[in-house]
Amino acid sequence: MERFKGKLLFMGWFNLPWTLLTDNEKIDLWPIVEQFFISINGKRAEHSQTLDCYFLFTDKNSELQFQYSPDKYIVLEKLEGIGMSNIHAYLEKNLIWLSGRKIKVNIAKGKQIAFSADKDETVYGVYFSGNGNSCKIPNDVEQKICKIGQPDCCVFLSFGTTGFHCEKFNGPIARMLLERLAKRTIRASRIGNCAILGRKE
């Protein structure tokens, strides 16, 4: 089992490297993750996710087969009948949600991989607002947490007719903001470490 622990700076699937800052070094997770994909290619597998974890693992009883073709697809496809799950979409979403946070990565070649938030890190939590995936930010948080107007302002901070919002958990917008960060076409410079707490009723 390989274990890594550090701060994830993920800026999108194709914006390499997938940087993990440990206490001693900077690691590119992508080659390590790709080797895991290769090690389970063609095996029966399953995956699961929570608000702060993604888990992909082999399972001999699964009705799904893991298929990886570099630069083409990463899927779990039904062995019989029609049906599939797009690993790329699920994993990228979870890595964006975990980006900026301290995480743990556990890999057992040919068996399983897990990305999870480090529970020892205290982070600010936000909730989805209304029916959308933007997260309304309470008053003063834009100054204390997001650091608006400061050199290390969070890239996910946005402003609209109803005030300040966090877009880290709003898929298309989050990907676009990280793309701009990777290309340095945005003034904000920090990937905030906030966590999603779900949706308020």
* Structure confidence at residue 129 (pLDDT): 85
CA pair distance 40, 110, nearest whole angstrom:
5
Report the candidate in 20, 24, 12 with the shortest Cα–Cα distance to residue 183. Answer: 12
Q: Phi-psi category of 186—alpha, beta or left, where left has phi over 0 and alpha has psi -120 to 50?
A: beta
Angle at 183 between CA 87 and CA 144, to 5 degrees: 85
Structure tokens at 154: 């969070």
Q: How far apart are CA 198 and CA 135, in angstroms?
A: 10
- Other CB atoms within 10 A of residue 194 CB: 23
**Per-residue model confidence (pLDDT) at position 88:** 96
Instruction: From first to last of the 201 residues of the chain, give the pLDDT tens digit.
Output: 999 999 999 999 999 999 999 999 999 999 999 999 999 999 999 999 999 999 999 999 999 999 999 989 999 999 988 999 999 999 999 999 999 999 999 999 999 999 999 999 999 999 998 778 999 999 999 999 999 999 999 999 999 888 999 999 999 999 999 999 999 999 999 999 999 999 876
- Length reported for the chain: 201
pLDDT of residue 176: 97
Compute φ and ψ for 23, nearest 5 degrees.
-65, -25
Note the pLDDT of residue 201. Answer: 65
